[in-house]
Chains A and B, each alone.
Chain A
């Protein structure tokens, strides 16, 4: 038998010992890889939400639930709708410091045909919009026609297929990239289509508007503030001078989520470090105990002619094999959890969650593998030294 196969044979001949060491290595890699990917996904989700909001201030009706509805809509995808008089937009445009305004229209579908969930419909004015169009253009460059919609990435509707909303057939002409936020579950269309859907809902007896005509209402106004003006001051001006509305700074809406994410990411990092220290301690202890148990085995190998260097190499090779195999198992397990169940994490946590790109994930993978390899190598170093310096004569004379 060639010497290079000896570490493999040693590991195969002691399956339970090998399995226990593999488990520790797998656990450590899973914690490092899974933890870093989960923390990065949460950060990506928040960044993507920040980019997609695009406005400095969002104005919604003054009703207490409107702001909460807006946050739920944007963060967790809970459908909602509210309306205010469309004249509000002109009043806002006249406020000092306001550079651009664009109205949006919200509507909640009744049940979409195939399932019992409601879908958020967002109507945006293509002429004045500055917040949705930039990222909508990535998937659709034309102009939205009547009853044409662009669907969020979390809707399984494919481009070219139709959706039945309040008995009206709407054609999906584009599909957005994932953002990891509630915006992924929405449908985007023109104000005319939203008004048509509101009328269709009234005809079906599910009127979302009590008295007003769909032509006289809007749901929110997105505002871009002129350079040199303080966003908080402009929001305060709007709240002070325009009745029946509340101006919400998009930054303040994100701050709450960012704080939650900071706490979660902090906990994940603490957990990673704790698992790392624990795994390193267990590995060092395990290799140290094994060094004691395997003294006779290594004494015999020394007698048959292996050099101290070769003995050290055997121990070192065993630990590298364990770390690589355990690391691959750990990465496979944690990848299954954080990638395959990413949607479940997003849905249950109510936080934006966007998995990192393939290149980014590969970096985390290599980092996790390097971490377990370094830990394993350092942990086995002392054992390798002890076993390669066994006092052959004394050990073999000790007998059974």
Chain B
């Protein structure tokens, strides 16, 4: 395993955790009203979609050998991960009661996971930019 891929592997692991977690361990409230989905369902869909894109980008970040492309992908992951922080309840409303699962589990889990990804990819991008600048 190349040392330069450590950050990429960490990014991929967190992105996959975000995607799979949003569908399993920290998924939103179950059920709906009169057969209609609750609002938090759409927030979950948005997080899963963003998670899939992040996972693909992280895998490309590992597989593509060009350092410039790696840095570009890290920057892209950084921006998208930072955007995901604002999906639950800011961009897409969650349910009415803050004691519901979407507020107590889904929202904090998504915010914490995407914040971790933002920090990792941000550091990775900065290190990549410095190294690219030196070469």
Q: Point out residues on A near B: beta carbons under 8 Å.
A: 77, 111-117, 119, 153-157, 184-185, 336, 340-341, 343-344, 346-347
CB distance from B64 to the nearest CB of A (A): 26
Which residues of chain B in 85-135 are interfacial with respect to chain A, using CB atoms and an 8 Å cutoff? 89, 93-100, 103-105, 108, 111-112
B96 contacts A115, CB within 8 Å? yes
CB distance from A189 to the nearest CB of B (A): 16
CB distance from A14 to the nearest CB of B (A): 15
Distance A119 CA – B95 CA, assembled complex (angstroms): 12
Q: Write out, one digit per residue, whether chain B residues 1-41 have a CB within 8 A of any chain A CB (1) or not (0).
A: 00000000000000000000000000001011100001100
- B112: which of A112, A114, A340 is its contact (CB, 8 Å)? A340
Distance A119 CA – B112 CA, assembled complex (angstroms): 29
Distance A341 CA – B89 CA, assembled complex (angstroms): 15
CB distance from A329 to the nearest CB of B (A): 11
Most buried by A among B38, B93, B100: B100
* Given A115-B33, A116-B33, also A340-B108 (CB < 8 A): yes
B97 contacts A341, CB within 8 Å? no
B96 contacts A155, CB within 8 Å? yes
Distance A340 CA – B108 CA, assembled complex (angstroms): 5
- B93: which of A117, A156, A336 is its contact (CB, 8 Å)? A156
Chain B residues within an 8 Å CB radius of A185: 97-99
Closest 9 A-B residue pairs measured CB to CB? A340-B108, A154-B98, A344-B104, A115-B95, A343-B104, A336-B112, A117-B97, A347-B99, A115-B96
Task: Give the residue name and chain of the A residue nearest to B31 (CB).
Answer: A116
Chain A residues within an 8 Å CB radius of B29: 115-116
What are 13 A-B pairs at a CB distance below 8 A? A112-B96, A113-B33, A114-B39, A114-B95, A115-B29, A115-B38, A117-B99, A119-B97, A153-B98, A154-B98, A156-B93, A344-B108, A346-B99
Number of chain B residues whose Cβ lies closer than 8 Å to a Cβ of chain A: 21
A343 contacts B33, CB within 8 Å? no
Q: Point out residues on B near A: beta carbons under 8 Å.
A: 29, 31-33, 38-39, 89, 93-100, 103-105, 108, 111-112
Most buried by A among B31, B32, B38, B108: B108
A343 contacts B103, CB within 8 Å? yes
B100 contacts A117, CB within 8 Å? yes
B95 contacts A156, CB within 8 Å? yes
Distance A113 CA – B38 CA, assembled complex (angstroms): 10
Chain B residues within an 8 Å CB radius of A154: 97-99
* Given A111-B33, A155-B98, A156-B96, also A116-B38 (CB < 8 A): yes
Chain B residues within an 8 Å CB radius of A114: 33, 38-39, 93, 95-96
CB distance from A152 to the nearest CB of B (A): 9
Chain B residues within an 8 Å CB radius of A112: 96-97
Task: Give the residue name and chain of the B residue nearest to A154 (CB).
Answer: B98
CB distance from A392 to the nearest CB of B (A): 35
Chain A residues within an 8 Å CB radius of B111: 340
Chain A residues within an 8 Å CB radius of B31: 116
Most buried by B among A77, A111, A113, A116: A116
Distance A347 CA – B39 CA, assembled complex (angstroms): 21
CB distance from A157 to the nearest CB of B (A): 6
CB distance from B71 to the nearest CB of A (A): 22
Distance A184 CA – B105 CA, assembled complex (angstroms): 18
Chain B residues within an 8 Å CB radius of A346: 99
Distance A286 CA – B93 CA, assembled complex (angstroms): 50
B108 contacts A341, CB within 8 Å? yes
Chain A residues within an 8 Å CB radius of B97: 112, 115, 117, 119, 154-156, 185
Chain B residues within an 8 Å CB radius of A336: 108, 112
Task: Give the residue name and chain of the B residue nearest to A339 (CB).
Answer: B108
Chain B residues within an 8 Å CB radius of A111: 33
CB distance from A372 to the nearest CB of B (A): 21
Distance A328 CA – B14 CA, assembled complex (angstroms): 20
Chain A residues within an 8 Å CB radius of B95: 114-115, 117, 156
CB distance from B42 to the nearest CB of A (A): 12
Distance A155 CA – B93 CA, assembled complex (angstroms): 12
Chain B residues within an 8 Å CB radius of A155: 96-98
Chain A residues within an 8 Å CB radius of B112: 336, 340
If A114-B33, A114-B95, A116-B29 are given as contacts, then 19 extra A-B residue pairs at C-beta distance below 8 Å, sorted by A number, are: A77-B99, A111-B33, A112-B96, A112-B97, A113-B96, A115-B38, A115-B96, A115-B100, A117-B95, A117-B97, A156-B89, A156-B94, A156-B96, A156-B98, A157-B96, A184-B98, A184-B99, A341-B105, A343-B99
